[in-house]
Amino acid sequence: MTPTDAIPILIGEHWITPEVEAHTPVYRPATGEVIGRTPQCDRVEVDLAVEAASRAFANWSATPAPERARVLFSYRELLEEQFEHLAEILCGENGKTREEARGDVRRGIEVVELACGIGQMAKGEVLPELAAGIDGAATREPVGVCAGITPFNFPAMVPMWMYPLAIACGNCFVLKPSEKVPFTANHLAELFIEAGLPPGVLNVVHGGRDVVEALCRHPGIAAISFVGSSPVARRVYELTGQTGKRCQAAGGAKNVLLVMPDAVESGLFGEAAAADPTLNAVMHSAFGCAGQRCMAGSLLMGIGDASDGLRDQLASAMDTMTVGDTLSDDVDMGPVIDGAARQRLVGHIADATSADLAVVRDGREGVPDTGFYVGPTLLDGVTPGHGLFAEELFGPVLGLMRPETLDQAIDWINRIPYGNAATIFTHDGGAARTFARGAECGMIGVNVGVPAPMALFSFSGWDQSFFGDLHVQGTEGILFYTRQKTVLSRWPRR
Ligand code: NAD
């Protein structure tokens, strides 16, 4: 493919180039060059994909679970064979470092591994003699055609949160990846077909808002999984409600990292800071994936004066970070996704000065000129009154806050409208317990900087970070992609 070729969509067994008027450029964020064109599909292509998925549903939903699992086992093998290639594609279109790209693919493969156990997970319940002479059985049935709409920041993991489990449960699927990272998604789909997935069970349609609205309104779709920003998550949740679909819509975040004084005093942030696990965890959480993670720590809290130690150690560590082209260099941090994201972040850093915040490290400086770079940034003096307190910035910009007590820190966390994650660093089990019980977030870390649950647990955001009832992955993922049928049977005694 050349950069001027339109990226194909997958309808049934055919990869086709849709005849659409508009395309959006796909960038290599590390250099800013255009590497592809994503077709802006609309209802026409959505109709085709849903028709293909509906045709495939009768056979696939009747395929025995062990047979479905066999296709998933083969898929897993191919994903392992293509692991480095997938990471390279992902690196190119998203800008992550190689290690981050590998992590993205690895987390996705773990969901496929979970899905391989579908027979065990989707077993129902039976109660003989529910009433005199009557047996009760509850089974988990596929819901029909499902669709997944995904963001740019995890081009492999987030789509794989969705379609492997949905398909393992006997559903057929239409995937709408982010228009900014279409290549990884297409390759993931190619491999699934190669693994023996029957035509139509997985379809891929590219585009933006028009495709999303068409999917949400389509009467042939039973369930929608969405991951992206909160305004769009809410919109998807509302639209799917109007058409009576199931919906799980994960949104944005503003995650807190709280370092207790004992963690600072006891050396966690002490002399050997460079090798310090807490400092590394904070750095990794705030600046990993250039801060473009829904689990990224974006507010750092120290208690009172302990914040000074935090700030100084962190600033020194930030000075040692290298930022650059993740495909060709051995760097700590890559670019943000596009020019618009860069402009937005640069604007926030500029605004910080006029909002009386101290710019301790300024990400506008010391970064390559070409490509979409923002360096690690530390802003000191954030309070609940600042706009930065409640706004998701989605970049390598960390705000430092100074609550006086643990209780005040928890109170501040609970004023943030999002509810994805919060982490405490401490040696004090009592403080950790108070924090874990009191912080109103769906995912809590205790000495874990990015408390992202792996495939076995659900990704359990709260408040503005999630709209719906059943989260992606884990047990809730299986419940979302299946519906219960209850059968009561009475047979004459012989
Ligand atoms: P986004 O909301 O801009 O886009 C997500 C998807 O929605 C894309 O497929 C996009 O094409 C589509 N879309 C965009 N605008 C739309 C509109 N107006 N109407 C209908 N569809 C639209 O998100 P993004 O910038 O790609 O990803 C970053 C966001 O995703 C951040 O807010 C991040 O926190 C969030 N995120 C959340 C989780 C989670 O689990 N909670 C995980 C990853 C990312």
* Pair 119, 265 in one domain: no
| C-alpha 254 – ligand 1 centre gap (Å) | 15
Which of 294, 337, 472 has most ligand 1 atoms within 8 Å of CB, for mutation? 294
Q: In angstroms, what CA-CA distances link 80 with 70, 300, 454?
A: 16, 37, 18
* Pair 147, 59 in one domain: yes
Give the pairing of strands 297-302 and 255-259.
parallel
H-helix or E-strand spanning residue 10: strand 9-11
Is the distance from the beta carbon of residue 372 to the nearest atom of ligand 1 less than 6 Å? no
Q: What angle do CA 399, 231, 144 make, to 5 degrees?
A: 125
Is the distance from the beta carbon of residue 215 to the nearest atom of ligand 1 less than 6 Å? no
Residue nearest to atom 17 of ligand 1 (CA): 209
- Report if residue 455 sits inside a domain: no
Is the distance from the beta carbon of residue 150 to the nearest atom of ligand 1 less than 6 Å? yes
Tokens describing residue 300: 């750092």
* Pair 33, 128 in one domain: yes
Q: Is 139 helix (H, G, I), strand (E, B) or coil?
A: strand
Neighbour-count burial of 192, counting CB atoms closer than 10 A to its CB (0-12 exposed, 13-18 middle, 19+ buried): buried
Taking the CA of residue 229 as reference, the ligand 1 atom at the shortest distance is 32
- Ranking 129-138, 267-276, 363-372 by mean pLDDT, the lowest is 267-276
Q: What angle do CA 441, 443, 447 make, to 5 degrees?
A: 115
Tokens describing residue 71: 């296709």
Which of 158, 217, 229 has most ligand 1 atoms within 8 Å of CB, for mutation? 229
- Report if residue 142 sits inside a domain: yes
430-437: average pLDDT: 98
Cβ–Cβ < 8 Å for 207, 129? no
| C-alpha 181 – ligand 1 centre gap (Å) | 12
- At residue 137 the predicted structure's pLDDT band, cuts being 50, 70 and 90, is very high
- Report if residue 452 sits inside a domain: no
Which of 212, 289, 463, 464 has most ligand 1 atoms within 8 Å of CB, for mutation? 212
Is the distance from the beta carbon of residue 294 to the nearest atom of ligand 1 less than 6 Å? yes
Q: How many CA atoms lie within 13 A of 451 on its CB side?
A: 20
* Pair 136, 84 in one domain: yes
- Report if residue 113 sits inside a domain: yes
Taking the CA of residue 461 as reference, the ligand 1 atom at the shortest distance is 41
| C-alpha 149 – ligand 1 centre gap (Å) | 8
pLDDT at 274 over 60: no
93-116: average pLDDT: 97
Q: In angstroms, what CA-CA distances link 162 with 35, 208, 253, 277?
A: 27, 18, 20, 33
**Partners of 176 in the β-ladder:** 149
- Report if residue 429 sits inside a domain: yes
- Report if residue 1 sits inside a domain: no
The domain that holds 355 is classified in CATH as 3.40.309.10
H-helix or E-strand spanning residue 468: strand 466-468
pLDDT in tens, 164-180: 999 999 999 999 999 99
Is the distance from the beta carbon of residue 479 to the nearest atom of ligand 1 less than 6 Å? no
The domain that holds 115 is classified in CATH as 3.40.605.10
110-118: average pLDDT: 97
Angular region, 356: left φ>0, alpha ψ -120 to 50, beta rest = left
Dihedral pair phi/psi, residue 433, rounded to 5°: -70, -45
Q: How many residues does the chain have?
A: 494
Alpha helices per DSSP H over 34-81: 43-62, 65-81
* Pair 315, 211 in one domain: no
Say what the pLDDT of residue 272 is. Answer: 47
* Pair 285, 166 in one domain: no
* Pair 69, 205 in one domain: yes
324-352: average pLDDT: 94
| C-alpha 266 – ligand 1 centre gap (Å) | 40
Among residues 41, 289, 294, 441, which one is catalytic?
A: 294
pLDDT at 437 over 60: yes
What percent of the chain is modeled with pLDDT above 70? 98
Taking the CA of residue 253 as reference, the ligand 1 atom at the shortest distance is 34
The whole-angstrom separation of Cα 298 and Cα 4 is 37
116 catalytic per annotation: no
Tokens describing residue 48: 């085709």
Residue nearest to atom 23 of ligand 1 (CA): 228
Is the distance from the beta carbon of residue 152 to the nearest atom of ligand 1 less than 6 Å? yes
Say what the pLDDT of residue 262 is. Answer: 86
256-281: average pLDDT: 73
Give the pairing of strands 418-419 and 421-425.
unpaired
Say what the pLDDT of residue 265 is. Answer: 62
Helix and strand element counts for the chain (H, E)? 17, 22
- Report if residue 349 sits inside a domain: yes
Is the distance from the beta carbon of residue 421 to the nearest atom of ligand 1 less than 6 Å? no
* Pair 328, 411 in one domain: yes
* Pair 187, 260 in one domain: no
Q: In angstroms, what CA-CA distances link 76 with 70, 160, 174, 223?
A: 10, 12, 20, 25
9-28: average pLDDT: 96
Q: How many domains does the chain have?
A: 2
Structural domain for 15, as ranges: 9-251+465-487
| C-alpha 178 – ligand 1 centre gap (Å) | 8
| C-alpha 229 – ligand 1 centre gap (Å) | 4
Residue nearest to atom 20 of ligand 1 (CA): 209
263-287: average pLDDT: 73
The whole-angstrom separation of Cα 399 and Cα 378 is 6
The whole-angstrom separation of Cα 334 and Cα 32 is 12
| C-alpha 151 – ligand 1 centre gap (Å) | 4
22-47: average pLDDT: 97
* Pair 307, 425 in one domain: yes
316-324: average pLDDT: 94
Say what the pLDDT of residue 365 is. Answer: 94
* Pair 202, 162 in one domain: yes
| C-alpha 119 – ligand 1 centre gap (Å) | 32
* Pair 474, 423 in one domain: no
What percent of the chain is modeled with pLDDT above 90? 90
- Who contacts 31 (Cβ-Cβ below 8 Å, separation ≥6)? 325, 370, 371
- Report if residue 493 sits inside a domain: no
- Residue ranges of E strands in 286-375: 297-302, 358-361
